[in-house]
Amino acid sequence: MNDTTHYAECWREPGHQACAVAEVVRLRDVLYERSKERDEAQRDAARYRWLKSHFRVFSPDMGGQHSYTLAGSMRARGPSLDAAIDLAMEGTQAP
């Protein structure tokens, strides 16, 4: 491509099929990246909901600054915090 016949949206013009294909490929790559980001956000949200369900109010405060604690004596182990939470959510633990 060169600047005299190609420009940012030349893929919209007749005769620029290769440009249109390149734009489709670019958009496919953007969609793939966004899908990965969405999947990670969904995993993070699931971890948050799981953790939230395992906390209880420890000390209510009239001013609204309550203290919270984990219910029971839950412990989580794994190679990272996310992995430890994932294993705890599954009911398994890393060795």
pLDDT of 32-79, one tens digit each?
Answer: 999 999 999 999 999 999 988 888 877 888 888 888 787 777 777 888
Same domain for 34 and 60: no
Please check whether residue 81 lies inside any domain of the structure: yes
Residue 93's pLDDT is 59
pLDDT of 21-38, one tens digit each?
Answer: 888 999 999 999 999 999
Please check whether residue 92 lies inside any domain of the structure: yes
Q: What is the pTM of this model?
A: 0.64
**Rounded Cα–Cα distance for residues 80 and 49 (Å):** 18
Residue 90: how many CA atoms within 13 Å on its side-chain side?
12
For 92, the domain range is 54-95
With H, G, I as helix, E, B as strand and everything else as coil, classify residue 56.
strand
Neighbour tally for 63: CB within 10 Å: 5
Same domain for 87 and 58: yes
Same domain for 23 and 1: yes
Q: Does 2 have pLDDT greater than 70?
A: no
**How many domains in the chain?**
2
Residue 4's pLDDT is 56
Same domain for 37 and 63: no
Same domain for 58 and 81: yes
Same domain for 66 and 33: no
Neighbour tally for 6: CB within 10 Å: 15
Same domain for 34 and 58: no
Please check whether residue 47 lies inside any domain of the structure: no
Same domain for 34 and 2: yes
Among residues 37, 68, 67, 66, which one has the least CA distance to residue 55?
68
